[in-house]
Structure 1
């Protein structure tokens, strides 16, 4: 359910029209294995590979993980957020690729769990998220807003739920205003967390109707098929309750073997489909979670803090064990 801190094929060109304009570079050639998405040269796995070239695992991790497009997560560790985001999207623009970004700084993040933290106040968050959106500006990008923030509302007191929902609504509207060419998605939990009807209500309250859609399975392991079914149910619930449907994207970074019911560094999981445009169900399959980054001091990585890259976790995901 939760994400640790920090961190294709050309035939997919039948993506919806709104995506085609943004993703045209990825549809130019079937040989483009990255599908038009930006490969982060400074992702945690990329840095590890550069620093450990003599390690027997490095070649495998380079081929299967660090060379693939994945999200860059931004939070209170990122320094001045406007300039950090601007540098990242400009690098992607210069490469004519589409960057994937995650905003992860909501106050009370992760309900104080392994990835706890976030902005110190509601006003600090408003300032931060406005600067984040301004850092993107008119550049094209994919953005996932605050993984788990809506699904975890139940851990908050009633008055704090309202505060969080208002902050997410503010975030949606800031991206709409300040980053008009970005494809922006509220996080919508995963296939077994919150009933579809309730998630639709939460998404609507957070102004999902004013952005592109919602993201599913972030940092989790549920299959794409299960996520697609849930996404369709949420979209139908939005239509039934509020008169509009919304598209969705699915995090496939670790869902190759599906879920075993555990979320914190479970054994036996596997890399899923690389970031790509999808012709049915989700409109994009994305590596939102950085494969190999720990969820916390738990599971197969009991001494690896959240967001720390583990070559053992990465190798297990490559091999499915």
Structure 2
């Protein structure tokens, strides 16, 4: 840990210690204030779960099992290996889908990671980094996944020159678009409330391509209270809006923020506690999730090796924490985004109402504006099969005056004059009766897409 960044925490890098994931708004039901809903995925094979299984007689086991191992936390991808990352992601995401839940991944492989601190490492260069990101995207296979992209990559830039910052920003923006095209919900590094000012963090997020992302996450590198992070998040969102970027949401890491803040390195600190348990039921329209991005009990690299699971740390965090809520997993995988509005109104509602085309025949399409900014917008289209199974689909509409589509994910774009057509990707063309697929796009001009037609 460099002395010039006393307010941040070194992050774990061990894939073996990485854990669990998250469900989101691909699920049925109503999103609870944020844009996400569903049941969080709890990986049965994590460092804490393995320790609990191997130590049934330890006096700390019951506490750690009930208050930490029982909960979902983010699965980290931090081992740079081009040959295995696709299969690793595919296996993990597939297991979550089989459980009827949607996973979350913390992607941690940017070159010059942690500015050479205790979590140093990552890809040898940005070209190979994008190849690695491509493997992750292929592993997703179009299955909606919550991705926390590169902790500290935006908040920590003290070791980078101006040209290196520019190159990193471009790399993060490219990675965001690649992962979005594979169906991911992508959140960028927002630092935390005791680090950069909200306006400065927003400026950095804009430079790193947050307009193409779903939002940002905070507190993965520290222990600031949820209240502080919520206030900080609102200041970042306000500054983003002032820059013309709207419709974004915050994710807060609550894994270790139930006690004292202060000293950046938590390995020897016994006054920290587990914060809020992971949930998508945030009750706040600005916040998509409270997550355990950093798995409780994994070291920061001070007294113990970064990423190693330490039962003494886990027990300390769990002591005094409330018993976790009980949850019942869904019996079927989530497939359809919620259609009922959030219980609290979103701060930036869609700028145009959904355009629907009920599938009386082979298929239908419904459009909504997911975010907008000065001169452009992001749209989302849900394709729904009718009464018969289909093996492919295409959706067409006519561009309004001043509109042009620059990017599509979840489908293949073609434009003929003012007519836009998006055809299914290789992985989402086959739909059973009543099943849905989604694609999104970035466009310039006034928000909206009317007159959608779907053919199969």
* Common fold: TM-score over 0.5: yes
Q: Could you tell me how far apart the structure 2 residues matched to 1:96 and 1:165 are?
A: 35
Match of 2:148 in 1: 144
Q: Could you tell me how far apart the structure 2 residues matched to 1:129 and 1:313 are?
A: 32
- Residue segments in structure 2 that go unaligned for 5+ positions in a row: 1-8, 23-28, 322-456
More strand by share: 2
Equivalence map 1:174-185=2 (5 Å): 174-177=178-181, 179-180=182-183, 182-185=184-187
2:115 to 108, 111, 119: 111
Residue 186 of structure 2 is aligned to residue 169 of structure 1: no
- Tell me by how many angstroms 1:201 deviates: 1.3
Report the number of matched residues: 297
| Cα deviation code 1:145-189 (max 9, x no counterpart) | 000000111221222111211111111111121x22x22101110
Residue 50 of structure 2 is aligned to residue 47 of structure 1: yes
Residue 164 of structure 2 is aligned to residue 160 of structure 1: yes
Match of 1:71 in 2: 74
Verify the 8 A CA contact 1:270 1:319 in the aligned structure 2. Answer: yes
Q: Could you tell me how far apart the structure 2 residues matched to 1:315 and 1:236 are?
A: 38
Verify the 8 A CA contact 1:106 1:118 in the aligned structure 2. Answer: yes
- Tell me by how many angstroms 1:18 deviates: 4.2
Q: Could you tell me how far apart the structure 2 residues matched to 1:14 and 1:143 are?
A: 18
Match of 1:30 in 2: none
1:217 to 205, 216, 219: 219
- Tell me by how many angstroms 1:16 deviates: 4.6
92-101 or 52-61, which moves further after superposition? 52-61
Match of 2:326 in 1: none
Verify the 8 A CA contact 2:105 2:146 in the aligned structure 1. Answer: yes
Q: Could you tell me how far apart the structure 2 residues matched to 1:77 and 1:121 are?
A: 11
Structure 1 pair 103–14 and aligned structure 2 pair: CA distance change class (3 A):
closer
- Tell me by how many angstroms 1:258 deviates: 4.2
- Tell me by how many angstroms 1:3 deviates: 1.3
What TM-score do you get using the length of structure 1 for normalisation? 0.88
Please give the root-mean-square deviation of Cα atoms over the aligned residues, in Å.
1.9
Structure 1 pair 184–55 and aligned structure 2 pair: CA distance change class (3 A):
same
Tell which structure's C-alpha radius of gyration is larger. 2
Residue 312 of structure 2 is aligned to residue 312 of structure 1: yes
Relative contact order higher in (CA < 8 Å, ≥ 6 apart): 1
SS in 1 for 2:73: coil
Structure 1 pair 154–320 and aligned structure 2 pair: CA distance change class (3 A):
farther
Verify the 8 A CA contact 1:168 1:206 in the aligned structure 2. Answer: yes
Q: Could you tell me how far apart the structure 2 residues matched to 1:251 and 1:166 are?
A: 25
- Tell me by how many angstroms 1:207 deviates: 1.2
Q: Could you tell me how far apart the structure 2 residues matched to 1:56 and 1:17 are?
A: 39
41-50 or 112-121, which moves further after superposition? 41-50
